Amino acid sequence: MTLTATGPAGSPHFPDDPDPVLYGRLLRRAHVTGRCPVWIHPDDLEHTLDRPTDPRALAEAIDALDGRDVLDRWWPGPCSSECPCGEALPAAIPQATAVAPETDPARRLDTFDAAVELVECPPRSLAVVDAYRPADTPAALGWAGICNYPHQDLVSLAAVLRYWESRWGALVVFMSRSRMELSVARPPMYDDECEQAAAEHIAFCPDQQDPQNGDYYTLSRYAGMIRGARSWHFWWD
């Protein structure tokens, strides 16, 4: 991927005086309108990454990937003998016993409600993007938060976010220059779910395990931290 000085960031529209009511209305209709809201300031789109700029071509590229396969490819385990984590990562992402939900969490009303609840005190800038779902908004915008990492692939990133929408009811709500926050309507609760989600987070964003503040999270410790959490925060240094 190539970092550009500026780029056509998904032709976003920034409404005047956005609020949670407007956000919720746009979010619930995005799968019909093809215009999805996400909270981000225009200054955080000063640089963009290459990606398909045609919305249909972008959606088709994401459709061709399975987010679980992407996470397996990005998984950093097993640990080397020099790893400082204190608890060796397994060779593969642990898998929880899957229970198919009656309804896809990505389309449930409570999934949208969880996203709206997260923006009780919204930032001042809401982008309305050419995308049918929140998972696709970082790619549609050319979001450059991952520019310092080996996996600078916004299509693969969107595939993971789509998988999380369906698995956990997790929606992209906020983005900044290097951060992303998701609402989570169906957070992991059981031990095996928490361990799987924790491993997926580490594969998705390496700084989840090493926040570079002198601490270092083992997989089991991080799994306990996200148990029942209604929002997920990611930061790329």
pTM of the model: 0.91
Mean pLDDT over the full length of the chain: 88
Rg over CA atoms, the chain: 17
Can you tell me the mean pLDDT for 220-227?
A: 96
Confidence of residue 99 (pLDDT cuts 50, 70, 90): low
Looking at residues 190-200, what average pLDDT do you find? 97
In the structure, what pLDDT confidence band is assigned to residue 1 with cuts at 50, 70 and 90?
very low
How big is the CA angle at 216 (ends 3 and 236), to the nearest 5 degrees? 15
C-alpha distances (whole Å) from 179 to each of 16, 144, 145, 173, 232 are 23, 10, 7, 11, 11
Q: What is the dihedral of CA 10, 15, 16, 22, to 10 degrees?
A: -140
Statement: residue 126 has pLDDT above 70:
yes
Name residues whose C-beta falls within 8 Å of residue 55's C-beta, 6 or more positions apart in sequence. 10, 34, 130, 131, 140
Q: For residue range 147-160, what is the model confidence (pLDDT) as tens digits?
A: 777 777 999 999 99
One-letter identity of residue 220: S
pLDDT tens sequence across 16-67:
999 999 999 999 999 999 999 999 999 999 888 888 888 889 999 999 999 9
Is it the case that residue 216 has pLDDT exceeding 60? Answer: yes
Give me the phi and psi of 201, to 5 degrees please: -65, -40
Q: Is the pLDDT of residue 2 over 60?
A: no
Q: What is the mean pLDDT of residues 139-151?
A: 84
Task: Provide the 8-state DSSP code for 141.
Answer: H
The fraction of the chain above a pLDDT of 70, given in percent, is 90
pLDDT at 7: 41
Torsion of CA 128, 103, 115, 98, to 10 degrees: -110
Joined together, the tokens standing for residue 38 give 């996400």
Provide the 8-state DSSP code for 138.
H
